[in-house]
A and B are shown apart, each in its own frame.
Chain A
Amino acid sequence: MIEKTGVPTRTQILKEFPDLIVLKKPKAIIECYKDIPCNPCDTSCPFDAIHVPQDINQRPQINFDKCTGCGVCVYHCPGLAITVRQIKADKAILKIPYEFVPLPQKDAIVKVLDRSGKHLTDGLIKQVRINESQDKTAIITIEIEAKHIIEAMTIEVPYGS
Chain B
Amino acid sequence: MHKEVIIIGAGPAGLTAASQLLKIGVEVMLIDRNDLVGGQLTKQTHMFFGSEKQHASKRGIDILTMLDEKLKQYPNKLTVFTQTTVVGLYNDKVVTCIKDDRYFKLSADAIIIATGASEKSLPFENNDLPGVYAAGAVQTLMNVYGVKPGHKVLMVGSGNIGLIVSYQLMQAGVHVVGLVEAADHISGYLVHASKIKRLGVDLWMNTSVKKAIGVDSVEAVEIWQLDDQWQGIPGTEKQLEVDTICIAVGLAPLTELLQQIGAEVVYIRELGGNVPRVNKHYETSINNVFACGDVTGIEEASSAMIAGEITGIETALKLGYHVPNHTAKLTQLHCDLDTLRQGPHGSKIRQGIAKLGVQL
Is B171 in contact with chain A by the CB < 8 A criterion?
yes
A100 to B199, CA, bound (A): 11
Using A135-B58, A161-B175 as known contacts, say yes or no to A4 and B205 having CB atoms under 8 A apart: yes
Q: Which of A11-68 contact B (CB under 8 A)?
A: 31-40, 43-44, 55-58
Q: Is B59 a contact partner of A135 (Cβ separation < 8 A)?
A: yes
A135 to B46, CA, bound (A): 10
Q: CB-CB < 8 A to B51: which residues of A?
A: 37-39, 56
Q: CB-CB < 8 A to A32: which residues of B?
A: 191
Is B49 in contact with chain A by the CB < 8 A criterion?
yes
CB distance from B169 to the nearest CB of A (A): 8
Q: Is the interface of A mostly helix, strand, loop or mixed?
A: loop
Q: Which residue of B lies closest to A40 (CB)?
A: B57
A81 to B200, CA, bound (A): 16
Q: Is A37 a contact partner of B342 (Cβ separation < 8 A)?
A: yes
Q: Which residue of A lies closest to B300 (CB)?
A: A37
Of B56, B62, B173, B198, which one neighbours A115 at CB under 8 angstroms? B198
Is B186 in contact with chain A by the CB < 8 A criterion?
yes
Selecting from A87-95, A123-131, A142-150, A152-160, the interface stretch reads A152-160
Is B203 in contact with chain A by the CB < 8 A criterion?
yes
Q: Is B175 a contact partner of A159 (Cβ separation < 8 A)?
A: yes
The number of residues on chain B lying at the interface, defined by a beta carbon within 8 Å of a beta carbon of chain A, is 45
Is A116 in contact with chain B by the CB < 8 A criterion?
yes
CB distance from B167 to the nearest CB of A (A): 8
Q: Is A160 a contact partner of B197 (Cβ separation < 8 A)?
A: no
Is B91 in contact with chain A by the CB < 8 A criterion?
no
Q: CB-CB < 8 A to B205: which residues of A?
A: 4
Is A3 in contact with chain B by the CB < 8 A criterion?
yes
Of B47, B62, B194, which one neighbours A6 at CB under 8 angstroms? B194
Is A138 in contact with chain B by the CB < 8 A criterion?
no
B 269-311 to A, binary, CB cutoff 8 A, 1 in contact else 0: 0000000000000000000000000000000001000000000
Q: Which residue of A lies closest to B52 (CB)?
A: A43
Q: CB-CB < 8 A to A40: which residues of B?
A: 47, 52, 56-57
Known: A37-B343, A137-B47. 10 other contacts (CB 8 A): A3-B185, A3-B186, A5-B203, A56-B339, A58-B343, A78-B191, A79-B195, A81-B194, A113-B198, A157-B199
11 A-B pairs (CB sep. < 8 Å):
A6-B193, A7-B197, A32-B191, A39-B51, A78-B49, A79-B195, A117-B201, A135-B59, A157-B199, A160-B151, A161-B200
Taking Cβ atoms with an 8 Å cutoff, the residues of A that contact B are 2-8, 31-40, 43-44, 55-58, 76-81, 99-101, 113-117, 135-137, 153-154, 156-161
